[in-house]
A and B are shown apart, each in its own frame.
Chain A
Amino acid sequence: MKLLEYEAKDIFKKYGIPVAKGFVVKKTDCDGTGAVINTGIERCELGEEVVIKAQVEVGGRGKAGGVVICPSGDAPEKSAAMFAKEIKGVPVETILVEEKLPITGEYYVSITLDRSKKAPVILFSAEGGVEIEETAKNNPGALHRVRVSPMLDDIPDFMMRELLRGAPKELAPVIKSLYRVFCKSDAILAEINPLVTTERGVYAADAKIIVDDNALGRQGISVNRDLTERERLAEDLGFSYVELDGNIGVIGNGAGLTMSTLDMIEYFGGKAANFLDVGGGADRKRVCSAVKLVSGMDGVKVIVVNLLGGITRCDEVAAGIVEAGVPQQVVVRLAGTNEAEGKKILSEKGYRMLGSMEEVVKFAVEEAD
């Protein structure tokens, strides 16, 4: 789950990474007089110029108008304007008001996981503040990279020298702290862009942390904000679910088989409305709620159920489909454990069954047309 900048900066502070002075304001806290903003600026001693930053989870926020620099006196007006905005389609509910740092140099640092080396990898560039993808493409030599063994709890000095090369040594403690943040926060990404130098020292001018969804619980996060409401409902029911914009509902078991069913729909010229993986060992109750969930989506004309029974029993699946009794046509492919019993239940109720996933998808695409 992506953290907002101010949430990430709160974590940074705990690990001793300096951030600009500032405060957070919610849209609901503002009464239109600007009193909250003025009080905040005074209390935090933000100085003559401030930066107003929309707290939205989108990339390229700066270019989309989500960051405004203005004299402190204009902050109430500029904040109100920010609250009225949508940044890349996301309404602004929270802003961060910060002092304007007297920046002398901008750098980039990020830590992520290298899948093939199975270890954290640290990227550093002396060209911060810009889109790092551009640097990687146009000037790959400017991007320095080291891989840290998961058995180490700190970045060895030689790696730090390899990362920084000519860049100021003062950046090293911050990068080391960021590594601790990465490990202790169960992050799959920890990034500072830009990491800045000033006459007062080094600061994280921005902050980005993505927490591993499998570790939200132990990080004290109870709700995954990255999910839509229906996706969250699906998660509560134990499904993996992704909303798409076609008209064929898809229910499968196993991520690969379900994805492959989606691909087959595209192959035959149709469009899937969703991806729903009921997971292993789904019983009739779970299948019933899966069918109902997909049926409730706007524009679903037909529902494909593609199930390969292993731990999952086909008779349970069949009973769940019948129990859901949704208005759309449900076409089914069942194979594996208790296949005969499952097929009997469905055929008695007049459900359409086909022998292979190819056949069932082809039929559904024709029906949806």
Chain B
Amino acid sequence: MIYGDKNTGVIVQGATGRQGAFHIDLMNEYAESVGGKGVVAGVTPGKGGQEVHGVPVYNSVREALLEHDASVSVLFVPGFAAGDSIMEAAYNGLDLVVAITEHIPVHDTIKAISYAEIEGCSVIGPNCPGTMSPGELKLGIMPAQLAMRGNVGVISRSGTLTYEVVNELSRAGIGQSTIVGIGGDPVIGETFVDVIERFDKDPETKAVVLIGEVGGNLEEEGASYSNLPLVTYIAGISAPPEKRMGHAGAIVAGGEGDARSKISRLESMGITVAKKPSDIPVLIRELL
């Protein structure tokens, strides 16, 4: 488990919003089913004293931590306020913030991530589905029923494509150690490199699936760090240049970051690249 386990206490920032409340319930349902601690407190400024699905809500992270033991925050606050909330979590000593929020202005993101780093706090996301270690911990919005405990680590920039691949793996009887959706924004906290470093040190993880897409070169950077066997898949072969393919970060700009050149760079590094998601289980089995 690279980000926590059953004993990890979680707070949710943006607890009283529609998404926040809905997912507090789902995360705690999962925590209960695996005997985990789950979400112990919610935070929404001005809404202190309320309850969301039995979870007490506080006005600030500081107030929540006076009453509860937590090391992680999952963030559902709206884009314009999310950068501030990441910094609040980091300032109050949390180890990890999982920022589900999309549409955060990128200048807010770079400041918040830089600040969190100074405070020793890691950030997953923004614009991500979160992370889960099946049987132990779910942080975010991943559909838990698709996952299965095992020894393959999964890292991805895309939410639903992660679910698709996890589903294929589970159906093929290949379980996952930890699944991490790192997010579809151009600048994100934990990158492929960071997550792969964690998987390398994780005794549970024996192989890694890396799911990338057009834009930037974080995939190649991450793959070159890995000591574990790796299967990659890159979405966006058919993405036209200069068009944003749903994610703010998924854009082929100035001839850079297109899928074909990403794939050929990965292949030249000796890394297996799947042609379609359904090929991944077979390729992973060969490596295990």
Residues of A within 8 A of B (CB): 113, 115-116, 118-120, 133, 149-151, 183, 186, 188, 212-215, 218, 240, 242, 244, 252-260, 262-267, 272, 275, 277, 280, 308-311, 335-337, 356-358
Contact = CB atoms under 8 A, between A and B. Distances in A.
Contacts of A115: 186-187, 216-218, 249
Contacts of A308: 160, 163-164, 167
Interface in B232-288: 235-240, 243-250, 254-255, 259, 275-278
Contacts of A260: 161, 164, 235, 276-277
Q: Which of A214, A262, A310 has the most CB of B within 10 A?
A: A214
A104 to B, nearest CB: 30
A266 B237 contact: yes
B211 interface: yes
B118 interface: yes
Contact of B160 (A133, A212, A218, A252): A252
A255 B245 contact: yes
A254 B275 contact: no
Nearest to B111: A150
25 contacts: A115-B218, A116-B193, A116-B216, A118-B189, A119-B114, A133-B254, A150-B113, A212-B105, A240-B246, A244-B240, A254-B160, A254-B163, A254-B246, A255-B250, A256-B158, A256-B161, A257-B163, A259-B235, A263-B237, A264-B276, A275-B246, A310-B163, A356-B278, A357-B164, A357-B278
A262 B238 contact: yes
Nearest to A184: B107
A242 B243 contact: yes
B143 A336 contact: yes
Q: Which of A150, A253, A260, A266 has the most CB of B within 10 A?
A: A260
A357 B249 CA distance: 24
B110 A255 contact: no
Contacts of A311: 22, 141
Contacts of A275: 239, 245-246
Given A267-B276, A275-B245, A358-B276, A255 B184 contact: yes
B131 interface: no
Contacts of A213: 244, 248
A293 B137 CA distance: 40
B107 A212 contact: yes
Interface residues of B, number: 63
A7 B161 CA distance: 39
Interface in B181-233: 184, 186-189, 191, 193, 211, 213-214, 216-218, 221
A265 B237 CA distance: 10
Contacts of B235: 256, 259-260, 263
Nearest to A255: B246
B90 to A, nearest CB: 13
The 7 A-B residue pairs with the shortest CB-CB distance in the complex, in nearest-first order: A256-B158, A255-B246, A254-B160, A256-B161, A215-B105, A257-B160, A240-B246
Contacts of A252: 160
A336 B249 CA distance: 27
Interface string B109-123: 011011100100000
Nearest to A151: B114
B104 interface: yes
Nearest to A242: B243
A358 B156 CA distance: 20
A244 B107 CA distance: 31
B221 A116 contact: yes
B254 to A, nearest CB: 7
B224 to A, nearest CB: 12
A367 to B, nearest CB: 19
B77 to A, nearest CB: 14
Contact of A259 (B114, B162, B239, B278): B239
